[in-house]
Structure 1
Amino acid sequence: MRAHNDAEAGESLVRSRQRVIEHGEVFTPRWLVRDMVDLVVDEATRADARFLEPACGSGNFLVEVLERRLDAMRGRYRCSPFEHRHASLLGLMCLYGIELLPDNVAECRANLLDVFRAGLGLGPDDEWARAARTVLAANIVQGDALKMQTVDGRPIEFAEWAYLGRGKFQRRDFAYKDLTQRSLAGGTLFDQFDEDELFAPVRSHPVMTVGDLAAMGEERSVTAPVTASDRTSPACTSATAAESGR
């Protein structure tokens, strides 16, 4: 376990005594977050490895994973800005959180967005930043992980995002309850059934681009052209194909 510096030693782990009493809210120190993520470093640096934090607070664990993931994507796709950005967005798409308190939900989304923007050098109104906001609105849910419900009593749903290559993403929504039941079915007689019999999405969405994601919730559609610098060079073809599934 690595030593932590003086600044981290003095970080506040509680917002108020009242919140500790009412919600049991105590934040994990950054040094411990890093040590825990070190245990799953291979998954943390894979764009398509999914992480769910069922009591995400302000996003300490998710931020640490995203920072490592963006660093990995920067090195892996240094020859292709186009694939670098899409792989980085996929890395964000595969991070999920559930949090009961609304201020923590807002802070978690903001923290992840700040890391994503900094990693890609984006302005606040950049199309990619707006696409990231759409993703975070779907992936960071206000609700109760134990009851598997949102604060207004609806079943929690999560979006499964997949990168299809060539700048296109697929989204399917699944009920959190079904996801947990499926994980319990592994290694049992349920293995004899096809996945579709046990694991059906509650809805599927049309294939979408970053422009489509950025335009969600807006009145207008935004589409960004692909420039010559976005095209993949031969030196990066194998890495690009492996990440995009082509």
Structure 2
Amino acid sequence: MVSQVKSKKRVTDHGEVFTSEREVNAMLDLVKQETERIDSRFLEPACGNGNFLVEVLRRKLSIVEAKYKKSQLEFERYAVVAISSIYGVDILDDNARECRERLFKIFNEQYTRLYKAKCKEDCRTSVRFLLNRNILWGDALDFTNPETKKPIVFSEWSAINGSMLKRRDYVFKFLVEQTHQFSMFNDEGNAGAIDEPIKDYPLMHFLKLADYVAD
């Protein structure tokens, strides 16, 4: 059984108690259809080390495998889309880092099992890049990084023309203030009620996402 508490001090200082696997699954089953949509976006504003996001990714990747495993390129493309749709924020840096590692491990174990020596490092690198952009160390109450106090900025990823992804960056605070609570992007893939991103990037092939300037 996985512990729901790392330490008494963390509970006292941050109210940190992780949700159990049974509770996670029961809650996600309430929105089961969305958890099985490859491109449906999920944000966990206090993600801890990723218990909710891990299960969301498992469900999405099971759909990707069932539909696309016969074509490695299609599996890679839709796995990247699934991962690009998952967002998390946690006030503790070690939790955010652990969450990224858990999510990467789930993807990588499935990817390696399916394609073994044919796996592409470019695909793994793109997944790492997405997780570094989507799972952030930050305070979801004041919308800033606890150390730098810079605003939290999330990237919206939209699949375009098959293998291309479009990236647009938005300030998290404005997304929350001008959309339904923690529903960052609407079903059409646009930031709700927000006209302009703070940065708009050129299209990039899904296997070359790390070629975006790191910022």
Q: Name the counterpart of 1:30.
A: 21
Q: Distance in 2 between matches of 1:214 and 1:176?
A: 22
Q: TM-score, normalised by structure 2?
A: 0.85
Q: Name the counterpart of 1:73.
A: 64
| Paired AA for residue 130 in structure 1 | T
1:222-233 to structure 2, matched below 5 A, reads none
Determine whether 1:131 maps to 2:126: yes
Offset of 1:179 from its aligned partner? 1.1
1:56-95 to structure 2, matched below 5 A, reads 56-95=47-86
- Between 117-126 and 199-208, the greater mean CA deviation after superposition: 117-126
Determine whether 1:13 maps to 2:9: no
Offset of 1:48 from its aligned partner? 1.2
Offset of 1:76 from its aligned partner? 1.9
Gaps of 5+ in 2: 182-190
1:184-203 to structure 2, matched below 5 A, reads 184=180, 198-203=194-199
Aligned residues: 200
| Paired AA for residue 143 in structure 2 | M
Deviation digits for residues 110-129 of structure 1 (CA, Å, limit 9, x no counterpart): 00000111122278982211
Q: 1:184 to 1:95 in 2, by over 3 A?
A: closer
- Alignment check: 8 A CA contact 1:134 1:216 kept: no
Q: Kindly report the root-mean-square deviation, in angstroms, between the aligned alpha carbons of the 2 structures.
A: 2.3
Offset of 1:77 from its aligned partner? 2.0
Offset of 1:210 from its aligned partner? 3.1
Offset of 1:81 from its aligned partner? 2.5
Determine whether 1:113 maps to 2:108: no
Q: Distance in 1 between matches of 2:168 and 2:38?
A: 18
Deviation digits for residues 58-111 of structure 1 (CA, Å, limit 9, x no counterpart): 001000000010000111224433222111111000000001111111100000
Q: 1:93 to 1:198 in 2, by over 3 A?
A: closer
Q: 1:148 to 1:165 in 2, by over 3 A?
A: same
1:92-107 to structure 2, matched below 5 A, reads 92-107=83-98
Q: Distance in 1 between matches of 2:95 and 2:195?
A: 31
Q: Distance in 2 between matches of 1:197 and 1:29?
A: 35
Identity of aligned residues (%): 37
SS of equivalent to 1:144: coil
Q: 1:90 to 1:108 in 2, by over 3 A?
A: same
Q: Distance in 2 between matches of 1:52 and 1:203?
A: 20
The one of 134, 137, 150 equivalent to 1:142 is 137
- Alignment check: 8 A CA contact 2:166 2:201 kept: yes
Q: TM-score, normalised by structure 1?
A: 0.75
| Paired AA for residue 144 in structure 1 | D
Gaps of 5+ in 1: 1-7, 186-194, 219-246
